Amino acid sequence: MSLPTAAELNAMFHYDSETGDLYKRPFTDAMGRFQTRYSKDPIRNPLRNLGGKMYYRTKVTGVRNDFLVHRIIFKMVYGWEPENIDHIDGNGCNNRLENIRASNPVENHQNVRKSTRNTSGVVGVSLTRDKRRWRARIRVGKTDILLGEFRNFDDSVKVRRDAEVEYGYHPNHCSDRPL
């Protein structure tokens, strides 16, 4: 379901660009009463996705579904809805404009945190089954590319890091950062 227009969202919400907080504007409810109680506090209704990452969500007047706050902010400011919105620092609750950007699924995947299941300490570097060599890989779009197998761990890490730069991965990609 798509969001209301940018003009309608700007009439319903106020965005503080310094803090990244979204506030509901005072409104008249269905009974004709003027409501200001929601306009004093920022919207901080948490939602955890299946991966454990937290975002803020809210309801929009006249629509049954909840919407993610960063999607509302993006449409209020830029006037359109991208396929994906990437939080550059990886914090889904940091909705300052300099931290959110439009992205496609590939770009979004090129800026993810390091998995808690990672055992080598470097994403894309793992031991081969016989545990004699380090294998370096990278995913570009939907294609997995084998970068090589190395006896030395540091060599495999260097090749992986060089490939991240070559294929345009974000500098924050696979850094240790909170959900």
Nearest to 103 by CA among 90, 77, 85, 81: 85
CATH number of the domain that residue 23 is part of: 3.90.75
Whether residues 96 and 150 fall in one domain? no
Whether residues 171 and 96 fall in one domain? no
Q: How far apart are CA 38 and CA 22, in angstroms?
A: 11
Q: Which of 82, 103, 124 corresponds to the end of one domain?
A: 103
CATH number of the domain that residue 133 is part of: 3.30.730.10
Residue 11: predicted pLDDT: 93
pLDDT in tens, 124-147: 899 998 888 999 999 988 899 999
Q: In what order do the strands lie in the sheet with 45-48?
A: 45-48, 54-59, 66-68
pLDDT band at 17 (very low <50, low <70, confident <90, very high): very high
pLDDT(179) > 60: no
pTM: 0.77
pLDDT(173) > 80: no
- The stretch 24-44 carries a mean pLDDT of 83
Residues written for the chain = 179
pLDDT band at 51 (very low <50, low <70, confident <90, very high): confident
Whether residues 14 and 58 fall in one domain? yes
pLDDT(176) > 70: no
- The stretch 90-114 carries a mean pLDDT of 88
